[in-house]
């Protein structure tokens, strides 16, 4: 194993091993989660990014390095865009979006509701996502050419549903509640659901949506690494996804057929 710094184990894999995209994505997130968990158990220094709840640690960077190193060995021509600054220009039409630790505030606070996630986008609307939750050992993979699964178990296709009968998973930083252009759409969509959950890891929320545990997920202003892994899972489980602009902000919505359209209408003021 190689190391980041002097203590962080980074697994190495021979480039001669052939992985398909789904296998490689699952391997990348599993090992990133292992690296991050190891470092959390060893103690962390936490830095603020944009707010007290938007933080980064050595574990985020080491986990991202684990993913990018693996991808560069096995998909040398693919582009990479990482939350913690990794940027590799593509030599083809494929690009990976990397979220080494999604739910970092949970991660540094001792909660186990965090994950590692990647997505691969390519030509002809090709999309693949993988999400790994180290606390439970669960790994979800799905995409435009792969039916959604948790481990080796296929997910049941999502049945249509009504937002008013289901749970809305979402997130909004408290300071945004003072901005009417964000707070008002948020109020409308949240009041349209039977109940609401705000747990702090969008990719884990979207994996739960793909499994049918929540009806809809929505959040505004999502970067690729927060949106594409879960979008791939939900769509490959038979769900719907949408991006709608409301008052200058993009809202990202995914979930059961029917419930997504209702959420979009509420966000837009219908």
> What gap in Å lies between CA 208 and CA 246, rounded to an integer?
26
Q: How far is CA 29 from the centre of its chain?
A: 11
Are residue 111 and residue 173 in the same domain, yes or no?
no
Sequence-ordered list of residues with C-beta below 8 angstroms from that of 243, at least 6 positions apart, any chain: 250, 251, 252, 253
Q: How much is the average pLDDT of 208-227?
A: 98
Are residue 37 and residue 81 in the same domain, yes or no?
yes
Alpha-carbon dihedral of residues 56, 59, 206, 73, nearest 10 degrees?
120
For residue 227, being part of any structural domain is answered with yes
Contact criterion met (CB below 8 Å) for 210 and 153:
no
Query: Is residue 99 a known part of a binding site?
Result: yes
Are residue 37 and residue 143 in the same domain, yes or no?
yes
Which DSSP letter does residue 159 get? P
Q: What is the pLDDT of residue 49?
A: 56
Query: Is residue 20 a known part of a binding site?
Result: no
Angle (nearest 5°) at CA 132 between 115 and 198: 40
Q: How much is the average pLDDT of 81-100?
A: 96
What confidence tens digit (pLDDT) does each residue in 141-170 have?
999 999 999 999 999 999 999 999 999 999
Are residue 43 and residue 123 in the same domain, yes or no?
yes
Are residue 125 and residue 206 in the same domain, yes or no?
no
Question: Which of 195, 194, 197 shows the shortest CA–CA distance to 165?
Answer: 194
Q: Is the pLDDT of residue 96 over 50?
A: yes
For residue 6, being part of any structural domain is answered with no
Q: Which contacts qualify for 71-80: CB closer than 8 Å, 24 or more apart?
A: 71/24, 71/28, 71/96, 73/13, 73/15, 74/13, 74/15, 74/17, 74/19, 74/24, 75/24, 78/120
Query: Is residue 226 a known part of a binding site?
Result: yes
Query: Is residue 21 a known part of a binding site?
Result: no
Residue 208, Ramachandran bin (φ over 0: left; ψ between -120 and 50: alpha; else beta)? alpha
Percent with pLDDT over 90 in the chain: 83
For residue 14, being part of any structural domain is answered with no
> What gap in Å lies between CA 202 and CA 219, rounded to an integer?
8
Task: Determine the structural domain holding residue 87 and report its residue range.
Answer: 21-154
The structure's pTM equals 0.91
In Å, how far are 38, 49, 222 from 83, measured between CA atoms?
20, 12, 12
Are residue 25 and residue 146 in the same domain, yes or no?
yes
Contact criterion met (CB below 8 Å) for 265 and 240:
no
The two three-digit tokens of residue 34, written as one number: 């292992």
Q: What is the pLDDT of residue 1?
A: 41
């Amino acid at each position: 194993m190689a190391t980041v710094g002097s203590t962080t184990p980074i697994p190495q894999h021979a480039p001669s091993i052939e992985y398909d995209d789904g296998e490689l994505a699952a391997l990348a997130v599993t090992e990133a989660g292992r690296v991050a968990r190891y470092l959390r158990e060893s103690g962390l220094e936490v830095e603020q990014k944009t707010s007290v709840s938007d933080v980064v640690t050595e574990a985020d960077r080491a986990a991202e390095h684990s993913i990018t190193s693996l991808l560069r060995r096995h998909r040398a021509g693919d582009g990479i865009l990482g939350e913690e600054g990794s940027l590799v220009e593509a030599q083809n039409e494929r690009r990976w979006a990397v979220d080494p630790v999604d739910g970092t505030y949970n991660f540094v606070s001792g909660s186990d509701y965090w994950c590692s996630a990647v997505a691969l986008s390519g030509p002809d609307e090709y999309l693949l996502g993988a999400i790994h939750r180290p606390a439970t050992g669960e790994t979800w993979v799905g995409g435009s050419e792969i039916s959604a699964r948790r481990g080796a178990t296929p997910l049941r296709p999502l049945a249509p549903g009504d937002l008013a009968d289901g749970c809305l998973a979402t997130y909004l930083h408290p300071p945004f509640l003072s901005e009417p252009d964000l707070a008002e759409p948020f109020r409308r969509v949240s009041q349209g659901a039977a109940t609401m959950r705000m747990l702090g890891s969008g990719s884990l929320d979207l994996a739960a949506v793909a499994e049918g545990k929540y009806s809809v997920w929505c959040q505004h202003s999502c970067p690729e690494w927060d949106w594409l892994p879960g979008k791939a899972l939900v769509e490959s489980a038979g769900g719907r996804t949408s991006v709608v602009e409301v008052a200058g902000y993009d809202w990202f919505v995914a979930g059961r057929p029917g419930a997504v359209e209702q959420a979009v209408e509420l966000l837009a003021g219908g």
